[in-house]
Amino acid sequence: MKNKIKDSLLDLKIIDKESIINYYPKVRDRDDVSVLKCEKSGVIFLSSTDHIDSNTYENNDGFSYWGAGGRAAAINANSEDANRRTKEFGKLITNKKWVDIGTGAGGILDAMSSTATETWAVEPQESARRELNKMGYNVLPSIAELPNDYFEIVTLFHVLEHFTTPLDTLKEIYSKMKKGGKIIVEIPHARDFLISFLNLESFKASTFWSEHIILHTRSSITRFLEESGFENIVISGLQRYPLANHLHWLSKDKPGGHAAWPFLGTEQLDTEYSNMLSNLDMTDTLIIIAEK
């Protein structure tokens, strides 16, 4: 079986072949794909990439991929993330030519497009792309179709981990950006507290997925970006799911604790918990900003 991500990690000397272990027997949606880990680097990746190709996302039905029957429901399900990103990155996008890659239902376009000079997006899922284009957004099916040397801001929010050849993807994105432009990337973190510290079986059974090709560390994503030509790389940790979510996992072995037990969280508590996990380098998410 082919393993493009493993080959890339070895070529970039991020992982050590002798340090790779079979970390988990299968992903949540397939029995024929397992999870590997390099004990030296901490990077977690799939045993194969054969199951992902250019058609994997294109023909998904409507907005069901995001667990919703329609666009409004899909946006509502992700509204908390969209609001956070608008607050955190809105000023960077203001008066800039911006493209969001893997825009999904386009909730982030609704939230931030009014402040950008130009708003573009890439979305491989044909039905979602068609609806967004009907709404007046300029959404293309692939990065290759974007103009070269054009964009001042590029965003990928929990998207890069879906690519089997992320180095090629980052190099292609680099070619589409103006000199001095910024790329903003959010990715899941291999050192997630529930994985790296608690080693929680129920969480691993749920979180490992055939479409998440790799879980990065700070060092591994830095290496990919540097090899693609990016500079001035700044990485910060973010905990998307609060303490209530973690307590629910420990008690019930199920997700959704932040919704089921909202009374166990306050803005101050959740912020302090995120900061603590960031200091430990055990957040569930890494945010990276880099420049061309």
**Residue 67: what pLDDT?**
59
Average pLDDT over residues 170-174: 99
Check whether 182 has a pLDDT greater than 90.
Answer: yes
Which amino acid, 10?
L
Q: What mean pLDDT do residues 198-211 have?
A: 97
Decide if pLDDT at 72 tops 90: no
β-pair type (118-122, 97-101): parallel
What integer pLDDT is reported at residue 68 of this predicted model?
57
If one compares 64 and 266, the residue with the highest pLDDT of the two is: 266
The better pLDDT of the pair 246, 76 is held by 246
User: Which of 6-20, 122-136, 173-187, 273-287 shows the lowest mean pLDDT across its residues?
Assistant: 122-136
Per-chain mean pLDDT for the chain: 95
Per-residue pLDDT of 133-148, as tens digits, reads: 999 999 999 999 999 9
pTM: 0.94
Domain spans of the chain, in order of start:
4-58+141-291
User: How would CATH label the architecture of 4-58+141-291?
Assistant: 3-Layer(aba) Sandwich (3.40)
At residue 82 the predicted structure's pLDDT band, cuts being 50, 70 and 90, is very high
pLDDT at 66: 57
pLDDT > 80? residue 39: yes
What digits encode the pLDDT tens for the residues 92-121?
A: 999 999 999 999 999 999 999 999 999 999
Residue 55: pLDDT band with limits 50, 70, 90? confident
pLDDT at 277 over 60: yes
- Contact between 159 and 66 (Cβ < 8 Å): no
